[in-house]
Amino acid sequence: MDIQFTNEALISLGILTLLEVVLGIDNIIFVSILASKLPAEKQQQGRRVGLLLGMVVRIIMLMGIDWVRRQEHTLFTIVGNEISGKDIMLIIGGLFLLYQSVHEIHLKLKGYSEEVKERTNAVGWSGIIVQMTLLNIVFSLDSVITAIGMADHLWVMILAVVLSMIVMLMASGPIANFVNKYPSIKILALSFLVMIGMSLLAEGFDQHFNKGYIYFAMAFSFIIELINLRLDRVSSEGKGEGSSDTPEK
């Protein structure tokens, strides 16, 4: 692997690192949700393991770039749609995301006691790791394909993945705490993952969407939710100040 720090390579490294961080945000959210099923003292460790697994999976797939490209060859046809190995992975990944996201939303709607019961009876550490591995394989497809399209050198792709993972490891704690602190944010994040799952299914059947629209919708919804949280806080503070006022005689 010939490493040459040319201007072109450094520019592609910077751009690709930023893109990998953006593509990894949904990964952070879902890894955090899976890690929340672990005991409190193991949740941070679970998030780190999940993200590190993502980095390892991405690097392995980058090292096997030829294998990834071969998965785009047609294997069979369903109702006029040509299905390749990549399509199968997207379809399975989309179904996996849909199931996990809808299941988490269902638990939220059933109430806190049912959610705690589910967390208590959840599969152990090994089961969570298996789910994180499957999740990382799904999310790594976009990451690897983006890397292949953006950079010409393998070392640039691998270094961008490592740098983006360092950023995500630093951000995973605050993001997880923020999502867990506000139930409405968690529901919104799960709704995003339902949307991403549907887009993966659609892409598996050769129905391509401009992901810019999806990211715009996610950003717009998130901003509106932040405004709502701010308004709720201002309203509760106003009520608190009003209740402390003593009535005039």
- Banded model confidence at residue 249, pLDDT cuts 50, 70, 90: very low
Question: Looking at the domain assignment, is residue 164 inside a domain?
Answer: yes
Task: Indicate whether 120 pLDDT > 50.
Answer: no
Give, for 77, the enclosing helix (H) or strand (E).
strand 74-78
Average pLDDT, integer, range 54-83: 76
Task: Indicate whether 195 pLDDT > 80.
Answer: yes
Average pLDDT, integer, range 60-75: 72
Partners of 88 in beta bridges: none
Question: Looking at the domain assignment, is residue 247 inside a domain?
Answer: no
pLDDT, position 126: 76
Mean pLDDT (the chain) is 75
pLDDT, position 3: 59
- Banded model confidence at residue 65, pLDDT cuts 50, 70, 90: low
Question: Looking at the domain assignment, is residue 28 inside a domain?
Answer: yes
Question: Looking at the domain assignment, is residue 119 inside a domain?
Answer: yes
Separation of alpha carbons 166 and 182, rounded Å: 25
Task: Indicate whether 60 pLDDT > 80.
Answer: yes
pTM, entire model: 0.64
Question: Looking at the domain assignment, is residue 222 inside a domain?
Answer: yes
Question: Looking at the domain assignment, is residue 2 inside a domain?
Answer: no
Question: Looking at the domain assignment, is residue 182 inside a domain?
Answer: yes
Which tokens hold the place of 163? 């740098």
Question: Looking at the domain assignment, is residue 245 inside a domain?
Answer: no
Tell me the HSE value of 211 on the side-chain side, using a 13 A CA sphere. 13
The boundaries of the domain holding residue 209 are: 7-72+79-237
Question: Structurally, how many domains does the chain consist of?
Answer: 1
Which of 11-25, 51-65, 195-209, 216-230 has the highest average model confidence (pLDDT)?
216-230
Task: Indicate whether 193 pLDDT > 70.
Answer: yes
Q: Inter-axis angle of helices 154-181 and 7-35, to 10 degrees?
A: 30
